Structure 1
Amino acid sequence: MGAADVVPGVSGGTIAFITGVYDTLLESIRRINPKLITVIRKQGIKAALTYINLKFLLCLFGGIFLSIITLAKLVSWLLVAHPIPLWSFFFGLILVSVFHILKQIQHRKITQLAGFIAGILLAYSITILQPLHLEPTSLNIMLAGAVAICAMILPGISGSFILLLIGMYTPILSAVKSFQISPILTFLSGCVLGLLCFSHLLSWMLKHYRDLTLVTLTGLMVGTLPKIWPWKETLTWRINSHGEQVPLLQQNLMPAEYERLTTQPSQLLLAILMMLAAIGLVLMLEKTAKKKY
């Protein structure tokens, strides 16, 4: 999940779904509420820690944080040096994840099509929004954390991409790479606030309208596929906070058209291999997910 969350356009929530820990994650977070005080009073701290599944949360978020710290520099380098293989891997990952989640729908109804289409339209509309340029103040960093974490636990919507849209991706990634404690803690506090609020809503939806919610979440994943298409032509550029020129608006191209317009190799064979590797990884994780977490 941490590795996926570093890449704009890829959601850590998708990985949680693939590995089968999504429901456990939401339910564990949902239980961190005022009722926890009652559990502590009546049954003690040990029972309360068991109630919120603290061991699971520590393992999961510890892994996410460790992955973000260790992979931030690598992913940043891959996005610049080898974008096509990297995007191809995540494209295959999300593509096969769509079918993985659809298999979990127990009762298929024609009315669910509306949720599927709504999910696609919402995700696609987010991918074509013009990026903002917020100043990295403490308040903006906290708000960015709250908004991004909500997207981060939704399959299909990338928390990193939300950060990119509001102009906070580069400041946050730079803070992580250079171990700036203050902005990291501010961002994490916003993440905790957003996570505690949003998890209740999503957990309730999955409990009462599971099939419709899964269909809508699948639509969100499909809607983001154009964003992570490997072959793109940059139409306009912008200057980031470090004075570097980075893409602003891009359009998708077919591999042959990409070679013709950019005079760069399409790396089609490597891209296909990376997509197949992602599919193989999902199939392997699917078997692992049959274990009880």
Structure 2
Amino acid sequence: MRETLAAQSERLGPEAIAQVHRLYLPEQQRLAAELVPSALDVPYGPHPRHRLDLYSGSGGHALAPILVWVHGGGFMRGDKRSTEHPFEAHAGRFAARHNFLGVVMNYRLAPQDGWPAGGEDVGHVVDWLRDNAASHGGDPDRIVLVGTSAGATHVATHLHLRSQTPSVRGAVLLSGLYGLTPSDGERDAAYYGRDPQEYVRRVPALGIVQTSTPLLLCCAEFDPPRFQTEFLGLMQRRLDHHGRAPRAWIASGHNHYSLAYHLGTQDHRLADEILDFARSCCV
């Protein structure tokens, strides 16, 4: 498996995603059969993409902390759930199995909706949870955001737009782009616009460096160089600004897509990092 994931290290797009899906499909399908969603397609705003799914575990008398999953997709695609595969929804089930209320959200997509739509939508979900989470067994004052790829960028943008959100106790950023490298290609332009000066103004780099919200930063051994450069650059800038580096983890043996899609499987190294971080934020 390591060789397969290494061979895809420079490839991004639907074909590479499908190949990674196939590697983890049997195990994720088995896990999917063990836990069903507690609510589907719940509206959190007026746009058709403003929908979320909820996953709750066996429950208890106390309200559970909340884990919000923000999918990737290069700003232009992605969905919280599919009838064709168990991925993205796998993160909600993972959260529920570990006594969190799992929230898997959709958000508006480029080019129809550019910056700051994704970051705003993360904020809309946080607001919805503050008003409604308790009725679904979640604690609205203990929210941890987890974003992968473009989703990590949107989580970072939320923290840039709202420097103080007391209910958000922490954020996990998996292989995101934060604006520490130059704009690259049509995907960036579709979301941020084509003006280089606007790109510099809109990226969340400054806000994510300065935020006091605890962070867990992750990247993959076989991530493309741009993602690794962003990971290391954010580490250094957080160290320079706060006087200490944030919690961080490099996923050996994984690439850009497997970093997210293996979550919950027998390779539990990333799961352990996320759970330990989230629990420490929610005490």
TM-score by length of 1: 0.28
Please tell me whether Structure 1 or Structure 2 has the larger radius of gyration of its CA atoms.
Answer: 1
Which structure has more relative contact order (CA 8 Å, sep 6+)? It is 1
TM-score by length of 2: 0.28
More strand by share: 2
More helix by share: 1
